[in-house]
Every structure is written in C-alpha cells, then in structure tokens.
Amino acid sequence: MKRDLHQFQGPNHGTSIAGSSTSSPAVFGKDKMMMVKEEEDDELLGVLGYKVRSSEMAEVALKLEQLETMMGNAQEDGLAHLATDTVHYNPAELYSWLDNMLTELNPPAATTGSNALNPEINNNNNNSFFTGGDLKAIPGNAVCRRSNQFAFAVDSSSNKRLKPSSSPDSMVTSPSPAGVIGTTVTTVTESTRPLILVDSQDNGVRLVHALMACAEAVQSSNLTLAEALVKQIGFLAVSQAGAMRKVATYFAEALARRIYRLSPPQTQIDHSLSDTLQMHFYETCPYLKFAHFTANQAILEAFEGKKRVHVIDFSMNQGLQWPALMQALALREGGPPSFRLTGIGPPAADNSDHLHEVGCKLAQLAEAIHVEFEYRGFVANSLADLDASMLELRPSETEAVAVNSVFELHKLLGRTGGIEKVFGVVKQIKPVIFTVVEQESNHNGPVFLDRFTESLHYYSTLFDSLEGAPSSQDKVMSEVYLGKQICNLVACEGPDRVERHETLSQWSNRFGSSGFAPAHLGSNAFKQASTLLALFNGGEGYRVEKNNGCLMLSWHTRPLITTSAWKLSAVH
C-alpha cells in the first residue's frame, strides 16, 4: 500500500527542530548529566520535541500519573472523546497538554466545560466537535495562526495556570508559530536545510527529459519556459556524475547562450586555441589517431609506385597526421618518393605564421628519415576561398596528389555554394585519392530539436568513451574541445554555425552527385586500425566497422567517426 509522501514532512516540525543553532545537549560523556537552571526547559526533552520546564518536571509527572489513573477508570468512549480533543492542544507543551486532558476527563464544577480554557477556539467551538472517533477538521482561528504569540485565557478560579505567550526566544528555531494548534506553517530557516534526494538514476532520466523539453521550448520560441528549464537542468546536472554531468552542463550552457542570445565565447573564433585543444583530444582518445591512421593507409596505397607525391591537407592544424605517413613512405620498398605537402589552415589570432612553423618541424623530420620534402603553407579563412591556381599544381603524370580532410568539410555546409566550390577545386586537382574523415551523425537537419536530440546522443556517447581515459590535463582539454563543438552546434545559427556534421550516407550522396566515386579502404586498413585500438585501454569498448568500403570507429554499438576515401568517377 502506497504511503503518502507528505507524511515524512510532518506537520509538526515547527516546534521541534533539533537541527538548531542553540546549544544541544551532550551526546556522550558519562559525567555530564544535565545541569540545568530551574527556569529553563529540559534540554534533553527539548531535543526530542517536548517543551517542559525543569522546574515543572515533577508536576508534569504527577499529571501523567493522574491521567493514567483516570484513564484506567474512564469508559471506552471517554477515551475516544479524549483522543479527539487532544488535537486542540499542542502536544509539545506537555504541561498544558496534560492539564487540558485532565480537565476533559474531570471538568471542574465551576466551569461549564473545557471550552472556557480556550476562547479562541471557543468562538467556533461547540459540542458537535466531541463526537468521538477520528480527527475532524479544525475550523476557525486554530488553524491558521501566524503570530508567535498565543494565549490560553484561563478561568481564574481554577487551579490552571496562566500560560503567557510562548516567547519566540525560548523556542528552538524556526519562525513558524511557536505554539500553533493543529497544523503549523512549515518554514525553514537558514540553520536548517531539509533535503530529500531522489535516486540519481532517476535524476539522470529527468535530466534528459529536461534537456529535451528545453530544446523544444527554444524551438517554439517559448523562452520563458526554456529559461526555467535551463535552470532546472543546471541543478539536475550537478546531481549526476561523470559523462552525463559534463555533457549536460555543456548542453545547458549552449542552450542558455541560445536563449539569452549571447554570442559564443570569444574562443570560438580563436583557431590557435582550437589547434591546442585538438592536440589534447588527439592524446586522450583514439578518434583522431584512428582518423589519421586510416586516411594515411588509403593515401599510402594510392601512392603505390609513384615517385613524386603531393598531399594537400585541408586540415593542417599541427600537422599531426604527417609524421606517420612520412615514416611509412621512408620505409617503402624501393625507397621513399619525394614528398610535397601543402598545408591549409585558418589564420592565427596573433597573425603568426604557425603553418610555417609546422612545416619547419616536418622538414626536420624529413631530413632525419631521408625523405625529400617540400612544403607550402596556405592561410585561408575558409576552404571555399581556395582556388586551384593557388596550389601550384604540377602535371599529374609527374606528381600524384592526395587531398586530405579531417573534420573540415562539414564547416562548408553553412555557406551557400561552399561545398560545391571546394568539390570543384578538388576535381581540378585531380587527386588519386580524396580522404575524408567526418563525425558520423546528422547534426545539420533543418529542425533545431532534431539536431539537438541527435547531438545529445552523439556527444553523450563520445563523453562516455572518454570516461575510461585516465584523468589528466589532456582529458579536460578534450572535453573543452568537444564542448566548443556542442556550443557552436546548439547556440549558433547561419554562417556562424559551422559544426554541421552529416552522416556517411549523406556525404556519399553529395560525393556521388558531385562526380566522385568511392575508393574502398582495404582490409589491411581495417586490421591495422583494430590493432591501433588495442593500444587504447585494451581497446575496451571501441569497435572498428566496415561500412561500404569505409571504416567507422564506434564506441560500443554507436559509430562516432567515419573515414572514407574518394576518387574522381570515371566520367571525368
């Protein structure tokens, strides 16, 4: 049978708050028996919710005895009568409570009844109350007392005491009325913090619901609701642990930015920070390494037998992909080809020629491994700004070209004609292979809520996979790296929204209709990718899957990134 949750909050704790700032009794310490001044309340009973003056203890005991005797003598319904009546008196105030009970059972001849005791109630009281049986509603003034003062007016002829208003200072805490009869108004002071926790798994579910509801509210421009929900999310997010907490926090922040129309943090636009973050991401988890590795495999195979090779990298960053390829080329049977690299990247915030620096480092490596090396760095705000003529292409008989793009193509989808322009340039380049790595998820749908839902699941999985990594600076930075993507995807629109990921099938369509044909990645690539994964946490959780000649890296059953390779279709 389900019980009422209200029960646990109890109507009475206005008078019995133990968690107070007043001195509490000694908890242990054999020798410290109570040393209480006569006029003060018994501390030990006070903690237990009963207010009894130490000086009155004996009298209270006497009353208890008297009541006991009388109850022994009373008829059955007399007791029921008592039971009903007790609700009019504050059970915490033992002296008066017992007193009043005694009067009920043994009304003095002088008065007409107990009604004389309590004029406030008296106003509304009449004998219809005393019908025995269960508690009935208490009408009138008794219920909604707000002041701290109350008084039992007394019949002076009796031996009952005048009980002056309970002074608030003698009460333990709470500003709720000191001796309210019946229900108390529950208030909580700063010194008491009652909390009920719901199971955090429960919270996890609620969190997801709140996130979705917030996104929906944003979509329907119900910003008031969205705002309220975003606050809820923040609150729920901190009750979670690990991946869920981080993801929820990033999404909440992104939603908040969208709601309040805050422009994304300045760092969105700072590319050198992006590069740094990506390096941390590179270290922490296998995704980038997988991307580089699989793309390099495809390039290596496409360059087989070629004496002069040229790689055009749309995603130069720190050039992390190329040392491995260069080494593989160096070890090639028949000796390495001469290797030309054109690196394209966005301008650095401080205008430094970081692309040049990267090139220099690679040149040093090339020298060390005896590979003939040529390098050119290009700064471009967008890949769509490129023209084939800038790239100093050489005749394809002399030089085989590979074009490489890791997590860059999707950024073009926000610009009209962007991707078409780039495809056009690539076709002009006439590469032997065009390697592409992209996030495997549709974060570019026309409906905000759909994008939100997809990305929530995507990044939850991604963050989950990061949880296994040992805590480190790298890990934190990786999370920040991903967090920026989340922020862009949720908070931005139009050309500002660059994280427009799409799935393999969507890309396949684009490539297909733009004159490219798939170049299947071999089983070699597959096997070696699997080996690579084993280096990360024993490969626990990660999976490599083949999909139409492409390779996907999944966390458990969810594919997260896809490497695909393309060549010009026969028509060209």
Partner 1 sequence: MAGSDQVNLIESKTVVPLNTWVLISNFKLAYNLLRRPDGTFNRHLAEFLDRKVPANANPVNGVFSFDVIMDRQTNLLSRVYRPAYAGGDPPSFTDLQKPVDGEVVPVIVFFHGGSFVHSSANSAIYDTLCRRLVGLCGFVVVSVNYRRAPENRYPCAYDDGWTALNWVNSRPWLQSKKDSKVHIFLAGDSSGGNIAHNVAVRAVESGIGVLGNILLNPMFGGTERTESETRLDGKYFVTVRDRDWYWRAFLPEGEDREHPACSPFGPKSKSLEGLSFPKSLVVVAGLDLIQDWQLKYAEGLKRAGQEVKLLYLDQATIGFYLLPNNNHFHTVMEEIAAFVNAECQ
What are the beta bridge partners of residue 378?
Answer: 344
Residue 65 vs 496, nearer CB to partner 1: 65
Residue 55 vs 272, nearer CB to partner 1: 55
- C-alpha 402/C-alpha 123 separation (Å) is 96
CA torsion, points 226, 228, 231, 232, in degrees to nearest 10? -100
Residue 48 vs 368, nearer CB to partner 1: 48
Residue 7 vs 557, nearer CB to partner 1: 7
Residue 4 vs 397, nearer CB to partner 1: 4
Residue 192 vs 453, nearer CB to partner 1: 192
In angstroms, what is the minimal distance from the CB of 215 to partner 1?
Answer: 24
Residue 17 vs 492, nearer CB to partner 1: 17
In angstroms, what is the minimal distance from the CB of 209 to partner 1?
Answer: 16
In angstroms, what is the minimal distance from the CB of 84 to partner 1?
Answer: 8
In angstroms, what is the minimal distance from the CB of 69 to partner 1?
Answer: 6
In angstroms, what is the minimal distance from the CB of 135 to partner 1?
Answer: 5
In angstroms, what is the minimal distance from the CB of 422 to partner 1?
Answer: 46
In angstroms, what is the minimal distance from the CB of 29 to partner 1?
Answer: 8
Residue 42 vs 499, nearer CB to partner 1: 42
Residue bearing tokens 């993801």: 247
In angstroms, what is the minimal distance from the CB of 415 to partner 1?
Answer: 42
Residue 55 vs 338, nearer CB to partner 1: 55
- C-alpha 490/C-alpha 69 separation (Å) is 75
Asked whether the beta carbons of 562 and 569 are under 8 A apart, the reply is: no
What 3-state class would DSSP assign to 254?
helix
Asked whether the beta carbons of 64 and 99 are under 8 A apart, the reply is: no
**How far, in whole angstroms, is CA 530 from its chain's centroid?**
32
Residue 197 vs 571, nearer CB to partner 1: 197
In angstroms, what is the minimal distance from the CB of 82 to partner 1?
Answer: 6
In angstroms, what is the minimal distance from the CB of 56 to partner 1?
Answer: 10
Residue 47 vs 388, nearer CB to partner 1: 47
In angstroms, what is the minimal distance from the CB of 169 to partner 1?
Answer: 19
What is the amino acid identity at position 401?
V
Strands (E), 232-320: 308-313
Residue 138 vs 412, nearer CB to partner 1: 138
Cα angle for residues 196, 197, 199 (degrees, 5° grid): 150
Structure tokens at 80: 């029921």
- C-alpha 251/C-alpha 257 separation (Å) is 10
Asked whether the beta carbons of 115 and 125 are under 8 A apart, the reply is: yes
DSSP 167: P
What are the beta bridge partners of residue 566?
Answer: 434, 518
Asked whether the beta carbons of 489 and 542 are under 8 A apart, the reply is: no
Asked whether the beta carbons of 382 and 425 are under 8 A apart, the reply is: no
Asked whether the beta carbons of 75 and 39 are under 8 A apart, the reply is: no
Q: Which of 121, 131, 118 is closest to 80 using CA atoms?
A: 131
65-82 core/surface letters (b: 16 or more CB in 10 A; e: else): eebeebeeebeeeeebbb
- Residue 374: other Cβ atoms inside 10 A: 14
What are the beta bridge partners of residue 294?
Answer: none
In angstroms, what is the minimal distance from the CB of 460 to partner 1?
Answer: 20
- C-alpha 519/C-alpha 295 separation (Å) is 12
- C-alpha 345/C-alpha 379 separation (Å) is 5
Q: Which of 255, 246, 200 is closest to 226 using CA atoms?
A: 255
